[in-house]
Structure 1
Amino acid sequence: MTKQTVLALYDDKAAAHQVLEELRAAGYGSEFSVSGDGSSSAATSGGATASGASSGSSLFSSVSRDLGAPASRTSSLTRLGVPESEAQVYSEAVRRGGVLLIGQVDDSHTSEVLEIIERHHPVDADERAELYRQGGWTSYDASAADYDETAAAEERSRYSSGLSAAASSLRGVDAGGIGTRRGIDSDREEVIPVVEESLRVGKREVERGSVRVRTRIIETPVEETVSLRDETINVERRAVSRDVADLPADAFRERTIEVTETDEEAVVAKSARVVEEVVVRKDVTEEAHTIRDTVRRTEVEVEDSRTDVAGKRPLSDRDLDRSDI
């Protein structure tokens, strides 16, 4: 049965390990490992994707090890069939503190595995690459140092939004591997951004095609029948023998007779008339279209387990809405 290589990228280490636990519960945990969190436990990386079949478990194990070495990250991913451009994005994300979940699964189980991975909102690799480029990034630099925990936390805060970003910044890493919640120092504060999307609808012109009207001249043969007169002058001599007395008295005189020959010829005249008109115009109509979409906003729930003491009371949701908080 063909094996599929599955990749998913997470900013939140705890989320990656939670995915791994669910994969283990579903019977796939032994086929996955996490790279990029300083350990080599089961987990996954980036907006979940499945590439083509790989060549075997030995190659997969080698790639999992190589992801821990900056110089071999990109090449190890391309050996699994990941395109060079995507491999560089994944490598850069790991360098900046991201966690890459990588594993192999039979192609008949790929859909089930991806469903588990997507439930924990992996990073969209294309969106993250665009954010990197907006910040001036062009390609993965294997010689650049990996981010430490402080720099990685700042990176997660910069690119993440909503409660997931705030939660990731509140999670520390202990020797046990899975992130544990830590307290807030007395001289520090943690900020949870409340994000709300708004919908803006505009218009743009889109060319849908054109109508071309072209005129050309067509010559059609026509014919008419007309009767033409043709005159012909004939001069002939006839031998006769009769008495000159029958002729007039001035028979001996000089004279000239001129006869004009006339023919008729056809004269053609043409006239033009408008027999039809082709009118080209554009009719414009306006229709009201309803645009439906969804906008997101962050909701913050506060659970206060403090006991009431004299002069103080637990913080309520109403207190959260006050401008002085």
Structure 2
Amino acid sequence: MIDCDGLVITDSYMATLRDKTQNGNVQTTRGTKGGLLAELEPESDFGIVISKPGYFSVTDESITTKGVAGDTVKREYTLIAIPYQLPVYVDIVYYDLDKFKIRDDARPALDKLGEIMDRYPFLDLLVASHTDSRASDEYNIILSNNRAKAVTEYMAQYNISADRIRLEWFGEQELANDCGDGTPCSETAHQLNRRSELVLEAFPDPSKQYEIPESFKDMDFCDTDALFDDIQKELAAIPTVYFDFDKSMLRSVHKKELERTAIMLKRMPNLMLFIEGHTDQRGSEEYNKPLSERRADVVKKYLIQRGIEESRMDETWFGKTRPVNDCNDISCTEAMHQLNRRTELRVGKSSITGR
């Protein structure tokens, strides 16, 4: 019996070995090196269940002595620690000034979460709600609490019970920008603060003994990034940032998407962000290469302002060499050119943690 690092588990675990042919349990003993020993009847089939608090149980129904030429049957099993409260997805919904009603533009994000939580009962939701800096601290605490509760009420239509949603509310204590009391800010900047951060957590209850979900039986849970990657693909989580012609300024809509990316990176410190800048194919490569660099750099600088360490971001730029639409071979519309003017983001394992 080993753990995910290949080390022999020497402390206690429970094992039940059953003789399926004789229909009875088989006595087991612990060897000096932590292994499990038993005397098996010849020409018989066996099943074993191994369990340990805080670990996924192991079940093997394929053990047999039928046709075995030697006198020993060996198996090696890996006990995998349950990755409790593992963040696997992040989104944000926004609110109108002084309101906690769920807006129409927030519904798609919440609908997506409701559907996946209904499908996967091992996922729970953390809702962290905030306000802008206008009004008193006392008022804003209550308002952020109401915003968190509004998410819970909305999720009820997907049969998501309140005990699967953990609420936090901060009022104006954790602003997304420098729009504090008395600081002149645009309405767009204030809007970024009126939000609920939504974090999907896998295996949320540290006191609960979870089993590996049936849908992910073939996944290697020693690599928790595999579950993260699957959920990200299912929910299409990582944004692409688009730019106006010959520009490298961030559009307001993309600032909201980068807010979500920033929260994801804060919640998931094992992740690295890879930033790739691109242009359309008009203009020379000598001009477009620096333009694509500026487009990658503006994304990185925004995330640094949001508290993401520069060492966790890797930026590259490709000019016009990697178009989505090859406008040298076809006549492109402006919409097709727009798809080429982009900064692509993807996440991967962080070299900082050695994973």
Alignment TM-score, normalising by the size of structure 1:
0.23
Structure showing greater Rg? 1
Structure with greater strand percent: 2
